[in-house]
Structure 1
Amino acid sequence: MKSLKKQRRIQVILLAVVALVLATGLIGYAMRDGINFFRAPSQVIAEPPEPTEVFRMGGLVEEGTLVRDQGETVRFSVTDGGASVPVVYTGVLPDLFAENQGMIGTGRYVDGVFEATEILAKHDETYMPKEVMDALKEQGVYQEPGES
């Protein structure tokens, strides 16, 4: 009788482990397209991603590069102080999108151009996305407000 209880307990534990492994695998499979890695322009130039890879890129909109084509297509360059990457985006830009301002875009890097599907811009005078701020600090371009 005692060995039957022990055998049943082992079966329940094994079943729980198998269920946990299966659930983890299914979650990972479902999230494979939902995970977007952040890269700075210098990282994109140094190690260009595959054209099929969707990722986020951020930096400052380079001054003098913002060109609005006919329709909703916009072209500009994003820099982190070390490198610039040309960006093309078709859609409505956020109201606060401007040159020399922080932005993050989601898209693909195809033939040397970042084709953005989504653009996010800062939402007030002092805000900058953490990833962009860290990349700019790494390049020595960004200073905290109030520093001289």
Structure 2
Amino acid sequence: MKGLKKKRRIQIILAAFLALAVSTGLVGYAMQDGINFFRSPSQVAEAPPPETETFRLGGLVEEGSLIRGQGEAVTFRVTDGGATIPVSFTGVLPDLFGENQGMIGTGKLVKGVFVAREILAKHDETYMPKEVMDALKEQGVYKDPNAGET
């Protein structure tokens, strides 16, 4: 009788462990598309990701680089002061998107061009995504717009 109870307890523990492992694997698989790593243009230039990897690219839209093509097609360059990456996007840009403005795009690097499927822009005159600000600070390019205010 004791041997049967012990065997049954081990079976329940193994079944619970297996269920936990399967559920963890399913959650990880489901979140696979939602996990995008942020990279600055310098990081992309140093170690280009494979064309199959979706990631977020952030920096400043380089002045004079914004070209509007046919329909909703747009090309521009993103820089962090250390490197510049060409970007191609087809779609509606945010209203506040412009040259010398912070942006983050989600997409893939294809033959040296970041093909964005989504573009986010800053939402007011002082906001910049934390990742972009940190990358610009690392490059020594970022200047605090509130510096000197009291």
- TM range, smaller chain: over 0.9
Q: What does residue 41 of structure 1 align with?
A: 41
4+ residue runs over 6 A deviation: none
What is the alpha-carbon distance in structure 2 between the residues aligned to residue 8 and residue 51 of structure 1? 50
In structure 2, what residue type is equivalent to 1:101?
Q
Q: What does residue 54 of structure 1 align with?
A: 54
After TM superposition, list the pairs within 5 Å mapping 1:131-146 onto structure 2.
131-146=131-146
Aligned residues: 148
- Please tell me the root mean square deviation across aligned C-alpha atoms, in Å: 1.4
In structure 2, what residue type is equivalent to 1:124?
D
Q: What does residue 91 of structure 2 align with?
A: 91
Deviations 1:37-81 (A, max 9, x none): 111000111111111211110000011111111211111100011
TM-score normalised per structure 1: 0.93
Structure 1 unaligned residues grouped into runs of 5+: none
Offset of residue 27 of structure 1: 1.6
After TM superposition, list the pairs within 5 Å mapping 1:43-122 onto structure 2.
43-122=43-122
In structure 1, what residue type is equivalent to 2:127?
Y
What is the alpha-carbon distance in structure 1 between the residues aligned to residue 118 and residue 42 of structure 2? 20
Structure 2 unaligned residues grouped into runs of 5+: none
Offset of residue 107 of structure 1: 0.9
What is the alpha-carbon distance in structure 1 between the residues aligned to residue 2 and residue 145 of structure 2? 71
In structure 1, what residue type is equivalent to 2:48?
P
TM-score normalised per structure 2: 0.92
